[in-house]
Amino acid sequence: MSSHRIIRKMRVIWLLQAVSEFYPGTVEYRRSANLLSPIDIVLGQSRDESYSAIRWRPGQESNGFFLVVGGAGSGKTEALKRIGRGLLEGGFPVLVLDFHGDVDVSWLSPILMSSGLDSTIGVNPMELDSYRAHEVGLYDQRMALVELIVKAVPMLSQLQRVILTDAIEAAYRWVGIYDDDPLSWRRPPPTFPMVMDILERWHEDDELRSRRSTINGCLSAIKAVFGHPVFGREATLSIDEILSVGARVNLGMVPDSIRYIVADTLLRKVFRALMLKGPIPTCPADDTERFRLFIMVDEAKILSKASARLNASGHILNILATEGRKFGVGLILASQSIDHFGGDLKANVSTRLIMKPMDFEQAKKLGLDIKVSASDLMALRGKGDGFFKSQGSGEATYMQVRRP
């Protein structure tokens, strides 16, 4: 970007804030995003003698996918904050899944999900895709829900899974949702407290006394996870609001099993909503046509619960990496290990920031990925030191991330 365009862009941002009182993270500000396009985020500066600015320009890459890898204390969180702030200043909505509660991105108010009184918003994994009624039946969606539960509660036996499947089917019927009536799918969905209530009734039913032990085991196992208040609240996250201005979902106060279910459910809902909008233009005129939403996930390992599933086509991160670009998704993922990402995802990411690795084994793997020696990676000081590499930049550049 020329110096003239940079000055013009800064003037536009200043005018929007000072004169119009429109701030990043608002609908009004986003409506002026075309004045700020293309996205041009100064991440920091090189550590060579030139001290040149290191920029991320996702519109000039094959996609808006960015991978940040580094051990604890390397500066990943500060890098994410810098990227998030830059995207919001550019007028683009950002969804931050904050698993530790410390990715405090400017202008994004946190939505706390916890069992505390300050948390009033929840998520319901039992909501259906009514618009796909003729493609994916209610049976398939119930099975996908059971699979999600099994990943979160792996101790369920096969018999308990059968009981749980029956209880979920009964819960949908309870609220008037039926397999052969797609229009009924638009009714308010059941909740997990309803499922647990059904299981408790079955446990007390004398006609089911032979299955009482199995029912009790199933109820005890899922209550530990799905009895959490976030799955029973009437108010749920607004997908429309996320797509309009973004959101920071603070999951730092809940266990990993809850984080995983909430994050997986939310990402699938968001992606389905983007699919409903249809593909972006084949040849986008600018970044406002190219990108609809940037998704940022810190500690992405929580979404990769089992290493055997890292390369599964149904893994939500793999879906976003392979299909997200054509629906306007930008993706920024951070983790301590490159092993937390599947092959499809790594193959599709156009930009990488490698910070001080957690150990020499990681350094060797990361070094091969960006063609930098493991010794050079281990020599990084942390606190923002790293090597930046994108398709557009060519060779990896030693840099220092600028604080947000």
User: Which numeric CATH code is attached to 3-120+238-401?
Assistant: 3.40.50.300
> Which tens digit of pLDDT belongs to each residue from 144-194?
888 888 878 888 899 999 999 999 999 999 999 988 887 888 888 899 999
Domain range list for the chain: 3-120+238-401, 130-231
Question: Which parts of the chain sit beneath pLDDT 70?
Answer: 1-22, 32-37, 129-136, 305-308
pLDDT for the residue numbered 306? 46
Largest CA distance in the chain: 80
Which architecture characterizes domain 130-231 according to CATH? Orthogonal Bundle (1.10)
Q: List pLDDT tens digits, range 241-259.
A: 899 889 999 999 998 888 9
